[in-house]
Structure 1
Amino acid sequence: MYLFCAMGLIFPAAAAFVAASLNQRAYSGGNQICHTIAYNILRNKEDAEECANDTYLGAWSSIPPQRPNRLSIYLGKITRNLALNRYKRYTAEKRGHGQVVLALSELEACVPSETTVEQTIEENELAAAIDRFLYAKPKLNRNIFVRRYYHLYAIRDIADAYGMSESKVTSLLFRMRNELRRFLEKEGIML
């Protein structure tokens, strides 16, 4: 196995050392973030651990062509996609419901349902509009929204993390969804 650096090729012994140190760092703290993201989606400790471990395999095979700016965000996205794919596989078999279904159903009213041939363009426009909406909001509101609808935290967990009541978090999210719907309509994004 060879690794490349800014100065050129790193020899196999150095590659093994770099891989071992990355692996050690990943399991010391970074793996906890991946595990939490996966657990919030799957609600199963063993499956979350497996997704967190699969994240590093996915990152290892995809990083040479990708080159992410922030590794933690990149690993989080890989973990989230792996966990969502596993969740879809499980719910296709069991038809169960959990936080994922609940959180995504709350957003249905303010996100377009079916896309046309221009799917990629529309998705990029939607993502950019949501980013503009969120960055115009106070940091606390933005963080709560992202925890709920991206990381799929339960309302109770968000309330505990921010020292708020569940009803206050629910109310805040309800208002933000309504504001998002109005914002997207104003931006010309069809709902």
Structure 2
Amino acid sequence: MEDARIVDLYWARSETAIDETSAKYGKYCYAIAHNILANAEDADESVNDTYFAAWNSIPPHRPSVLSSFLGKITRRISIDKWRVRSAEKRGGGEIVLALDELSDCVPSNTNVEQTVEAEELGKAIDRFVMALPLMERRVFICRYWYLDSIASICHQFGFSQNKVKVMLHRTRKDLRNFLEKEGAL
């Protein structure tokens, strides 16, 4: 079913919207959640929470790209769930590695004054990512948006582990330089 039709079902408050969303985007949302949580039950719960959040936000919101809208919700919910779980037991996982890799490039938002700066930082990062060559952009997004493992990225693109690590290292270095020039660091 077309995305616009699915959104129309949400607007009509038809429960069929959830079924259609699940049929079209269930695996996509599950992959995002599982990459973050590394647990099937938690990933399933995050996907169900995504459908609930979509139900509650459409209307009034009318997403133009339903897949991105759902992916963003799934990612937020899964990261929140991961934070709760990791607060209970400090553990490893790809999210820790991915966020640690970016920690040198992106300042943390620890006080109220940085809220406005965080929005500007987000815009600067968007500009940087959109200016990357396509393959570097795809690898960067797989690692730092979808939180894919290095092994998964290697498999997806047919690259060696060393190539992916070097590509990500150089991209992080370029990001840091870009943010310094932008005055974000």
- TM-score, normalised by the number of residues in structure 2: 0.89
Structure 1 partner of 2:33 = 38
Change in Cα spacing, 1:57 to 1:187, as seen in structure 2 (3 Å) is same
Cα deviation, 1:104-152, whole Å, max 9, x if unaligned, reads 0000000012454333321111111111111111111101101100110
* C-alpha contact 2:33 2:75 (8 A) present in aligned 1: yes
The equivalences for 1:1-191 within 5 A come to: 15=12, 18-20=14-16, 22-190=17-185
**Distance in 2 between the 1:35 and 1:45 partners?**
9
CA distance in 1, matches of 2:83, 2:61: 26
What is the aligned partner in structure 2 of residue 7 from structure 1?
A: none
Residue-by-residue CA offset, 1:22-72 (whole Å, 9 max, x unaligned): 233222230111000000000011111111111011110112122222111
Q: Report the secondary structure of 2:103's partner residue.
A: helix
- What is the number of residues matched between the two proteins? 176
Gaps of 5+ in 2: 1-8
Identity of aligned residues (%): 49
Paired amino acid for 1:83: S
Contact 2:105 2:172 (C-alpha < 8 Å) held by counterparts: yes
SS in 1 for 2:60: helix
Q: Which runs of 4+ in 1 moved over 4 A?
A: none
- Render the CA deviation track for 1:53-96: whole Å, top value 9, x for unaligned: 11011110112122222111111111111111110111111111
Contact 2:109 2:118 in 1 (8 A): no
**Rounded Cα–Cα distance in structure 2 between residues aligned with 1:29 and 1:63:** 17
Larger Rg: 1
8 Å contact kept, 1:59–1:75: yes
Give me the CA root mean square deviation.
1.7
**How far apart are the structure 1 equivalents of 2:128 and 2:139?**
14
Residue pair 1:41, 1:152 contacting (<8 A) in 2 also: yes
Return the letter of the residue paired with 2:143.
R
1:133/1:83 CA distance change after superposition, 3 Å: same
Q: Which residue of 1 aligns with 2:3?
A: none
